[in-house]
Structure 1
Amino acid sequence: MSAAVRYLSTRGGAPAAGLSQAIAAGLAPDGGLYVPEQLPQHDPAAFAPAGSLADTAATLLAPFFAGDPLAAELPAICAEALDFPVPLRPLTRPDAQVLELFHGPTAAFKDVGARFLAACMRRLPRADGRPLTILVATSGDTGAAVGAAFHHQPGVEVVILYPDGRVSPRQAHQLGSFGDNVQALAVAGRFDDCQRMVKAALNDAALQAGRPLSSANSISLGRLLPQMSYYAHAALGWWREHGTPLDFIVPTGNLGNALAAVWVRAMGLPVGRVMLACNANATLPEFFAGQDYAPREALATIANAMDVGAPSNFERLRWTYPDATELRRVLSARSVDDATIRATVLRHAADEGELFCPHTATALHLLDQLPPRTDGGAWAVVATAHPAKFETVLEPLLGRPVPVPPSLAAMLARPARAAPLAAEDEALRTWLRAPAERLSLSA
């Protein structure tokens, strides 16, 4: 067996962990995020030219799983989780493609990481036999993906926290539509409150002693690692056909999806430039423009899944590029306000006959500002969610209904229920200590 890869905390105050331990814990004991001791390097020629997304993922992730009990299961995990298409297809602009990541069960890119994490967790032993409670803070799409991935999984309870009134109605319905072992909490606050509450619970040793907790946010390695697979798969396919790297424009809020692209490039695969598209929450654009990193409360926008003022994965980004000057050289970020998002959706619907979600529209706007390529390269806009999830934004704008994909329609047909919760760390702790109250919600 290969030597086991060690995972360290971004804050440097926790013992090294194996992959299974890091995935099970979610967050390091010192509050940091787990990262590999070093990123492995890959030769593009090592990937099967006709391989599926699952094949690409198995090759890409093998070094991360080396020496871990899950290593032998990696091909099966990839096949189980990555069984839906992530097509790269041309836009009308000659130098542009779109990478569609919304063909999974809940119509958002979060399905990739959530299903992979669930497949890993199913294979991890729990020596004491106690059920595991998975906490997830969501700004819209993560919670539904995690709920769907873990629904009916024995020995696992999922608790989803979302900012009440700050997700779309269809997103909120998805979050509350599971029941059984998946419970939704409507928090009277912002996504950043939900994220803070989850981190506080995970760092509470007394709470953990009473009921083991883990995380399914993008702070989890089990979600971050598989997200690299679609960037590697798209870039390798483009490179084989055109001989050039593929550049990406990534809508981002909590930075997990964008970090996945950055790591694929750092591992030696043909990912070129990475540009971050943000909504009016300008924490990242201000930093990349040269200002100090200054997290703040999130603003509510129509691209609500990106309403993040304190992106968690910034810690991993700084671990990858400790020098701020170098980080600003290899990445850029721009903000797009709501009016521009609406105008971009309308323009592409009129010019191309295509409808995109508000988050994808932030990346399309950045593409629209770029001059035509003369170097033979191409931009790939990352489409993160199906537009039907945002009907209250898009239908009044377009004056017509947005068709709903079958998987989403089935979820919306189920009843939905969520419990209200104050935006306070102690409120979540109290709720987690009250099993009778939790059980009553699934009745």
Structure 2
Amino acid sequence: MNFVSTRGHAPASSLDDALAAGLAPDGGLYVPAAIPTLEDVAPLPTLAATAQRLLAPYFAGSRLRDALAAMCAEAYAFDAPLRPLAGDGDHALELFHGPTAAFKDYAARFLATALARLHDGDDEDTEIVVATSGDTGAAVAAAFHGRPGFRVTILYPEGRVSPRQAHGLECWGDNVRAFRVAGSFDDCQRMAKAVLADAGLRARRRLTSANSISLGRLLPQMAYYAHASARFHAETGARLGFIVPTGNLGNACAAALAQRMGAPIGPILLACNANDALPRYFGGEDYAAQPTRATLANAMDVGAPSNFERLRHLFGGNDAALRAAIGAVSVDDATIRETIRSAPARHGIVPCPHTATALHALEALRARGDARPWAVVATAHPAKFETIVEPLVGHAVPPPPALAECLARPARGDDLPADDDALRRLLADAPG
């Protein structure tokens, strides 16, 4: 299968080349030239098996085709359980059982095992450049830490992630470096895209991305939506809708792609924080990036979602069709606080601030009489946000063992201005 750029000004690429490049040469995002259709949507016993079935068409012409089963077994070694919530038969899709307690662990691990096999003993190191609003960087660091042939440069907005998120970004060392950028996530994302699109720098350094702009992050995230929806459909005959907390739109884009492939997924609703570029668009306005606002749900503090052009491309650039298929709501900080406070009694869970946006969206649907089956996507463990969550629920939220292990390690990061050239110089001067 070939992959093309969302911007249409780059040659078609193989999967292997698209994975290695991260970003298309014209600055666009890689998407499948055609979307394959699943011939069988019956549930499979494991998440890894579902991932293999879903990904196989994309790997048909890849050097990695024969290794796909082993790659899926490695990346999806922990479950993504669909848990019943208290009350009206609603569910939460828990995606925080990986090593850094966030949904990004699945795709980061898959991308790492794919790139490691493509690297295959090459003498030249690959530099992974990743911008993070809180969780991506830690997942990528954990996935690539100690892997020969790779170095990781993490950019995160200083003061705009939780203390435990910051520690999880800075506690790795060895082949992982973390930089506190004096700006917003959008600054970090702009800097990463600038160096990835710099032909001169790429001629001297092998660079790629592990952000959600990477095809290697997009495709693996389909698996848990297909797995949960297939099991739900087999048990109930109904299509399960998903309420997806989102900022940069990669996770939600994966849900839409799995749906387009034929997974029995119902409606998709995006739950955003006060950064409302997407709710404005889905409400009928022209799409326009917005200045980033700092919120309690900091991993979604994105004013210019990169994956919007990828989502739009999946719908052929047809805004009416896209708006008919997907909705979006914005949730402010006061509502996030109240949702966290009431969630233990109302839903039987303690949510992180991001999951709380989805819970509020669910509550609003039910208040309007919506009776369709829904699952909120629980994207991170609440212990990553203890300074927000614990005062609201009135008790400690112990971190899971893998997160506790990260927090026990020493951490060190460096400062970096929000300047594209500063990052260029940093990468150009790195040992080669």
Question: TM tier, shorter chain?
Answer: over 0.9
Match of 1:6 among 2, 17, 25: 2
Taking the TM superposition and a 5 Å limit, the aligned residue runs for 1:422-441 are 422-435=417-430
Q: What is aligned with 2:331? A: 336
- The amino acid that maps onto 1:86 is A
Q: What is aligned with 1:400? A: 395
> What per-residue deviation string (whole Å, max 9, x for no partner) do you get for residues 210-269 of structure 1?
111000000111111010000000000001111111111000000000011111111111
Identity %: 60
Over the residues paired in the alignment, what is the CA RMSD in angstroms?
1.6
Distance verdict in 2 for CA 1:414–1:319, change over 3 Å:
same
- CA distance in structure 1 between the partners assigned to 2:84 and 2:40 by the alignment: 23
- Following TM superposition, by how much is the alpha carbon of 1:376 offset from its aligned partner in structure 2, in angstroms? 7.3
- The amino acid that maps onto 1:137 is A
> What per-residue deviation string (whole Å, max 9, x for no partner) do you get for residues 86-117 of structure 1?
00011112231110000000000000110000
Taking the TM superposition and a 5 Å limit, the aligned residue runs for 1:128-143 are 129-143=123-137
- CA distance in structure 2 between the partners assigned to 1:376 and 1:391 by the alignment: 33
- Following TM superposition, by how much is the alpha carbon of 1:400 offset from its aligned partner in structure 2, in angstroms? 2.6
> What per-residue deviation string (whole Å, max 9, x for no partner) do you get for residues 32-66 of structure 1?
00001011111334x4x442000000001101111
Q: What is aligned with 2:262? A: 268
Determine whether 1:386 maps to 2:381.
yes
- Following TM superposition, by how much is the alpha carbon of 1:205 offset from its aligned partner in structure 2, in angstroms? 1.0
Name the SS for the 2:365 alignment partner: coil
Taking the TM superposition and a 5 Å limit, the aligned residue runs for 1:10-409 are 10-45=6-41, 47=42, 49-125=43-119, 129-321=123-315, 322-371=317-366, 377-409=372-404
- The amino acid that maps onto 2:68 is L
- Following TM superposition, by how much is the alpha carbon of 1:352 offset from its aligned partner in structure 2, in angstroms? 4.0
- Following TM superposition, by how much is the alpha carbon of 1:72 offset from its aligned partner in structure 2, in angstroms? 1.0
- CA distance in structure 1 between the partners assigned to 2:302 and 2:391 by the alignment: 25
Contact 2:85 2:348 in 1 (8 A): no
Name the SS for the 2:336 alignment partner: helix
> What per-residue deviation string (whole Å, max 9, x for no partner) do you get for residues 278-298 of structure 1?
000000000001101010221
- CA distance in structure 2 between the partners assigned to 1:331 and 1:227 by the alignment: 18
- Following TM superposition, by how much is the alpha carbon of 1:127 offset from its aligned partner in structure 2, in angstroms? 8.4
- CA distance in structure 2 between the partners assigned to 1:56 and 1:285 by the alignment: 31
Contact 1:249 1:381 in 2 (8 A): yes
Q: Which moved more, 1:304-313 or 1:345-354?
A: 345-354
Match of 1:410 among 402, 405, 408: 405
Name the SS for the 2:327 alignment partner: strand
- Following TM superposition, by how much is the alpha carbon of 1:398 offset from its aligned partner in structure 2, in angstroms? 2.9
Distance verdict in 2 for CA 1:350–1:243, change over 3 Å:
closer
Contact 2:103 2:380 in 1 (8 A): yes
- The amino acid that maps onto 1:327 is L
- CA distance in structure 1 between the partners assigned to 2:425 and 2:44 by the alignment: 52
Contact 2:4 2:11 in 1 (8 A): yes
- CA distance in structure 2 between the partners assigned to 1:319 and 1:237 by the alignment: 29
In structure 1, the gaps of 5 or more residues are none
- The amino acid that maps onto 1:11 is R
- CA distance in structure 1 between the partners assigned to 2:36 and 2:270 by the alignment: 24
Contact 1:102 1:109 in 2 (8 A): yes
In structure 2, the gaps of 5 or more residues are none
- Following TM superposition, by how much is the alpha carbon of 1:378 offset from its aligned partner in structure 2, in angstroms? 1.0
- The amino acid that maps onto 2:352 is C
Name the SS for the 2:74 alignment partner: helix
Contact 2:272 2:330 in 1 (8 A): yes
- The amino acid that maps onto 2:37 is Q
Q: Which moved more, 1:271-280 or 1:400-409?
A: 400-409
> What per-residue deviation string (whole Å, max 9, x for no partner) do you get for residues 114-133 of structure 1?
00000101110368621000
- CA distance in structure 2 between the partners assigned to 1:103 and 1:270 by the alignment: 24
- CA distance in structure 2 between the partners assigned to 1:298 and 1:92 by the alignment: 34
Name the SS for the 1:277 alignment partner: strand
- Following TM superposition, by how much is the alpha carbon of 1:374 offset from its aligned partner in structure 2, in angstroms? 8.3
- Following TM superposition, by how much is the alpha carbon of 1:200 offset from its aligned partner in structure 2, in angstroms? 0.2
Name the SS for the 1:123 alignment partner: helix
- CA distance in structure 1 between the partners assigned to 2:5 and 2:99 by the alignment: 32
Q: Which moved more, 1:343-352 or 1:411-420?
A: 343-352
Contact 1:44 1:270 in 2 (8 A): no
Contact 1:135 1:198 in 2 (8 A): yes
Contact 1:95 1:372 in 2 (8 A): no
- The amino acid that maps onto 2:13 is A
Q: Which moved more, 1:30-39 or 1:346-355?
A: 346-355
Q: What is aligned with 1:421? A: 416
- The amino acid that maps onto 1:308 is V
Contact 1:95 1:373 in 2 (8 A): no
Q: Which moved more, 1:380-389 or 1:128-137?
A: 128-137
Contact 2:182 2:415 in 1 (8 A): yes
Name the SS for the 1:426 alignment partner: helix
Distance verdict in 2 for CA 1:98–1:285, change over 3 Å:
same
- The amino acid that maps onto 1:88 is L
